[in-house]
Amino acid sequence: MAEFRVRVSTGEACGAGTWDKVSVTIVGTRGESPPLALDHLGKEFTAGAEEDFEVTLPQDVGPVLLLRVHKAPPALPRPLGPLAPDAWFCRRFQLAPPRGAPLRFPCYQWLEGAGSLVLREGTAKVSWADHHPVLQQQRQEELQARQEMYQWKTYLPGWPHCLDEVTVKDLDLNIKYSTAKNTNFYLRGYSAFTELKIKGLLDRKGLWRSLKEMRRIFSFRTTPAAEYVFEHWREDAFFASQFLNGLNPVLIRRCRYLPKNFPVTDAMVAPVLGPGTSLQAELERGSLFLVDHGILSGIKTNVVNGRPQFSAAPMTLLYQRPGCGPLLPLAIQLSQTPGPNSPIFLPSDDKWDWLLAKTWVRNAEFSIHEALTHLLHSHLLPEVFTLATLRQLPHCHPLFKLLIPHTRYTLHINTLARELLIAPGQVVDRSTGLGIGGFSELIQRNMEQLNYSVLCLPEDIRTRGVEDIPGYYYRDDGMQIWGAVERFVSEMIGIYYPSDMSVRDDRELQAWVREIFSEGFLSRESSGMPSSLETREALVQYVTMVIFTCSAKHSSVSAGQFDSCAWMPNLPPTMQLPPPTSKGQARPEGFIATLPPVNATCDVVIALWLLSKEPGDRRPLGTYPDEHFTEEAPQQSIAAFQSHLAQISRGIQERNRGLALPYTYLDPPLIENSVSI
């Protein structure tokens, strides 16, 4: 006979408690117990409860290896009648044996209906560290079950593969939004939809009557940053600054020589450069920068309200004044083919010519940002990381414990996007200039050139040559956060991997990396994406990239969407007239006729309003309320990581106090751990 004390902790979320009966089987080195009921008089396992139970084993099972948790409906009907299967969110078990220290069994999972769950003691173990055959078998069975539950599919050819589910209703509870988050999400959307419907804007297919009328939609929701955009959107310095700190701060690169298809001359730019210098001198000095939207060249465009839409593939030359002056635009060409029908627009041109050219650039920014920077890099790739983690790493694996907080809700929001955003007839298809066809073509093109170095911020900054351009807060804050994540990951890897050989010998780790390469990067070796990892250093960089992409990178390109688009001329989702082929023709009425129609404007603004703010149930970067790690060493590393992030946040907030437009998208408390909206 062996007496054990079992402590059970139930989650606090809505619906976390259960009326069902719970029992446990204790599995040891010398056998296993029969199911042992956890039962008191009255109701157990209410939300937020932590309860102790005494159980007696009929025989000694030896040192404990596993805990099997069983859940079954009660013998008598529940008080509320025979409802749907009763789900239970179990946080953890603690098992106090007759002798020795208590054992902790992290769970943090939903059990829906009748069923069983096998839990491991909380010490993280790589595959080669599990020597007992029962534990080895448990790892294999867990992964087999998850691989059956979470399967891959091809959504569109040439895209990274994704979860094989059609709607969020089909998702397992462990990857669904919480009730609170789901309710808030739909309430936010409904309130915005209703307001614009009442104003008569949502169904109006015609043109805006004036820029002044556009304020009607702008006023439905506002932020300090959106107000700043409205006040300054025409200014050259603000136009240029958005390449550094706007919602797509990843394209600008130093220009050492002018592309042959962008024939800018000294005479064109002399009014901005001033006397005593030249294009060649500034190229050699490193003060010129280029934003090239060439990937849009020849892209398929959409039909909105029965009218064909238009796109451009502009090139924008920018100049950084000496002495930390503002970055300024020098010249804009709206196509990749110079000639008489593709003039180079200049700040010295007529104000409406120049404003129209800048607006075409901003439309190109919308298309590339939404299709590539946001959807592909910051949603589809994190989904690949999430699915591979669920399919190839068991709960006891240190990398699973490290990464699972950074996958929270990603499969839900991406499945929802395939339902409500990028499906035929939905927002992208009915209200953007490229539609699903253009988005898909863009993603296919970018997948052909996507490189591992682009996903690693330090390498990307070096490759683009923007290490020292002043006022680049995306770079400054991002590099600090990358460094903090890298230090944290390095400490964690050091705890569990004593050598390079230990990395190579971890078959689960190698399967995880291989699946990301094959399913996410379609086995394209030219991507530079590793299909295996050979050293601890390579593993640290890889895991840092995954965490950064799923948290900070997504925040930097998602949280500012509404700020940038609330005043639609700053970020038009489509253009209804073709790009100008000559100068001197632009007029205010032509400018408005080029912009999106009223209903498309409202459609996109509502979507970006929803996608810019977490609908509750937040977990900021470095916040890990689910204690998957039970050992002291990783807990100390987590505390050090949190302290480092707090220090970074204090510096960012101090800097922002001196800025007319604070850059907040990479302030750690405002960064979500995962892609969850």
In tens, the pLDDT along 359-380 reads: 999 999 999 999 999 999 999 9
Mean pLDDT over residues 633-650, rounded? 98
First to last CA, the chain: 52
C-alpha span between 325 and 307 (Å, rounded): 43
Strands in 244-314 per DSSP E? 253-254, 288-292, 303-304, 307-308
C-alpha span between 675 and 387 (Å, rounded): 13
Q: Which pLDDT value is given to residue 215?
A: 85
β-bridge mates for residue 27, sequence order:
32, 66
C-alpha span between 147 and 636 (Å, rounded): 33
C-alpha span between 508 and 530 (Å, rounded): 15
Mean pLDDT over residues 37-42, rounded? 84
C-alpha span between 397 and 126 (Å, rounded): 5
Rg value, the chain, Cα: 28
Number of H helices, E strands in the chain: 24, 18
Widest distance between CA atoms in the chain: 95
Q: Which pLDDT value is given to residue 324?
A: 75
Q: Which pLDDT value is given to residue 79?
A: 58
Q: Which helix (H) or strand (E) holds 66?
A: strand 64-72
| pLDDT tens profile 222-267 | 899 999 999 999 999 999 999 999 999 999 999 999 999 999 999 9
pLDDT band at 199 (very low <50, low <70, confident <90, very high): confident
CB 562 within 8 A of CB 223: yes
Backbone angles phi, psi at 674, to 5 degrees: -140, 170
What does the mean pLDDT of the chain come to?
A: 95
Q: Is the dihedral of CA 9, 11, 17, 18 positive or negative?
A: negative
- Which residues are documented as binding site? 15, 17, 39, 86-87, 374, 379, 554, 677
Which residue did the predictor score with more confidence, 220 or 404?
404
Structure tokens at 139: 């790892």
CB 632 within 8 A of CB 495: no
C-alpha span between 674 and 677 (Å, rounded): 9
Q: Which pLDDT value is given to residue 76?
A: 66
Mean pLDDT over residues 20-26, rounded? 96
CB 524 within 8 A of CB 444: no
Q: Which pLDDT value is given to residue 472?
A: 98
Q: Tokens 């309003």 map to which residue?
A: 609
Distances (CA, A) of 141 to 60, 117, 130, 489, 643: 25, 11, 14, 28, 38
- Which residues are documented as binding site for Fe cation? 374, 379, 554, 677
| pLDDT tens profile 582-617 | 999 999 999 999 999 999 999 999 999 999 988 889
C-alpha span between 496 and 494 (Å, rounded): 6
| pLDDT tens profile 125-150 | 999 999 999 999 999 999 999 999 99
Helices (H), 393-535: 398-403, 410-420, 427-431, 435-449, 452-455, 457-464, 473-496, 500-504, 507-515
Mean pLDDT over residues 275-284, rounded? 96
CB 583 within 8 A of CB 353: yes
- Which residues are documented as binding site for Ca(2+)? 15, 17, 39, 86-87
Q: For residue 310, with 0-12 CB atoms within 10 Å meaning exposed, 13-18 middle and 19 or more buried, which class applies?
A: middle
C-alpha span between 99 and 647 (Å, rounded): 43
The one-letter amino acid code at 113 reads G
How is residue 458 annotated by DSSP?
Answer: H
| pLDDT tens profile 515-528 | 999 999 999 999 99
**List of residues 6+ apart from 262 with CB closer than 8 A:** 290, 315, 317, 331, 333, 338, 344
Residue 270 confidence (pLDDT) above 90: yes
CA–CA–CA angle 531, 534, 540 (5° rounding): 90
Mean pLDDT over residues 285-296, rounded? 98
CB 389 within 8 A of CB 403: yes
Residue 498 confidence (pLDDT) above 70: yes
Backbone angles phi, psi at 288, to 5 degrees: -110, 145
Q: Which pLDDT value is given to residue 80?
A: 54
| pLDDT tens profile 394-414 | 999 999 999 999 999 999 999
Whole-structure pTM value: 0.97
| pLDDT tens profile 56-115 | 999 999 999 999 999 998 876 665 554 557 899 999 999 999 888 999 999 999 999 899
Q: Which pLDDT value is given to residue 44?
A: 86
